[in-house]
């Protein structure tokens, strides 16, 4: 949840739904004011489209033609509630109301997402932004780690269908093999390597010491 790594341009995930929309748009404002050519991408879910902040910052992004791309990962659920129960009308139309070019794409299609993203980033860099993208996708797990029994809001069959038939990694893998770009054996080896890296990262984290008590008030203020 609280992952940030500015050295890779990641300004941080946010525990307030929609909380980073201002930050992302401010990053784009800074790029424009400073004459820098970076593009900021703001990721959020369909649930966050219910936050008023988004409409305020889209208005300013459109007024000032900021290099920001709003990427809404619509996974069909706003916490424990179906999106159709919380979202009136069309989500893309909301961006369009501000004169923002909006796209809807199959978020499970790696190639389609990649092609659209490349195009929009390049255009935003040229000053043609902002843009909005709605990526149709799914959330395999619960809203939070304790959200285990989910049958009161969606069926196990639905989850199974998305995992088995619509998974973006499996679909991309099939394409790689069909196109002769990678062999099954190579992909198996890669999958094993990734699993090993993940297991090692978990083991490292579990073995790591908790921070010493004197760090409790470190970094409240910057020097």
Write out the residues near another protein by the rule CB under 8 A: 2, 4-6, 11-12, 14, 16, 19, 21-31, 33-34, 40, 52-53, 56-57, 59-60, 63, 218-223
Angstrom distance (rounded) from CA 33 to CA 219? 28
Q: E strands within 114-171?
A: 131-136
Shorter beta-carbon distance to another protein: residue 19 or 168: 19
CB of 79 to another protein, least distance (A): 18
What minimum distance in Å lies between the beta carbon of 34 and another protein? 7
Task: Please state the closest distance from residue 55 (CB atom) to another protein, in A.
Answer: 8
Q: Looking at beta carbons only, is 24 or 100 nearer to another protein? A: 24
Q: Which is nearer to another protein, 56 or 186 (CB)?
A: 56
For residue 130, what are its two tokens?
């902002």
Q: How many CB atoms lie within 10 A of CB 101?
A: 16
Nearer CB in complex with another protein: 16/198: 16
- Environment class of 105 (CB within 10 Å of its CB; exposed 0-12, middle 13-18, buried 19+): middle
- Contact between 100 and 38 (Cβ < 8 Å): no
Q: Which is nearer to another protein, 178 or 216 (CB)?
A: 216
Q: How far is the CB of 186 from another protein (least distance, A)?
A: 36
How far apart are CB 7 and another protein at their closest, in Å?
8
Can you say whether the dihedral through the CA atoms of 79, 9, 41, 195 is positive or negative? Answer: negative
CA-CA distances (angstroms) from residue 217 to 15, 211, 212, 214?
21, 12, 11, 7
């Amino acid at each position: 949840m609280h992952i940030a790594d500015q050295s890779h341009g990641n300004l941080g995930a946010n525990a307030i739904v929609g909380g980073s929309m201002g930050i992302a748009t401010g990053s784009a404002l800074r790029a424009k004011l400073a004459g820098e050519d970076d593009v900021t991408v703001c990721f959020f879910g369909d649930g966050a489209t219910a936050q008023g902040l988004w409409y305020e910052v889209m208005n300013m992004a459109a007024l000032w033609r900021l290099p920001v791309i709003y990427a809404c990962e619509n996974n069909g659920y706003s916490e424990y509630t179906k999106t159709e129960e919380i979202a009136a009308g069309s989500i893309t139309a909301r961006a369009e109301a501000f004169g923002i070019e909006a796209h809807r794409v199959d978020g499970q299609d790696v190639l389609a997402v990649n092609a659209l993203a490349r195009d929009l980033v390049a255009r935003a860099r040229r000053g043609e932004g902002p843009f909005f993208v709605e990526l149709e996708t799914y959330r395999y797990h619960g809203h939070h780690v304790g959200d285990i029994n989910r049958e009161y809001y969606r069926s196990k069959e639905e989850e199974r269908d998305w995992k088995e038939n619509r998974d973006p990694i499996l679909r991309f893998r099939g394409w790689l093999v069909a196109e002769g770009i990678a062999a099954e054996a190579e992909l198996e080896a890669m999958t094993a390597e990734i699993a090993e890296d993940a297991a090692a990262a978990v083991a490292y984290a579990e073995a790591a010491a908790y921070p010493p008590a004197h760090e409790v008030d470190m970094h409240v203020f910057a020097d």
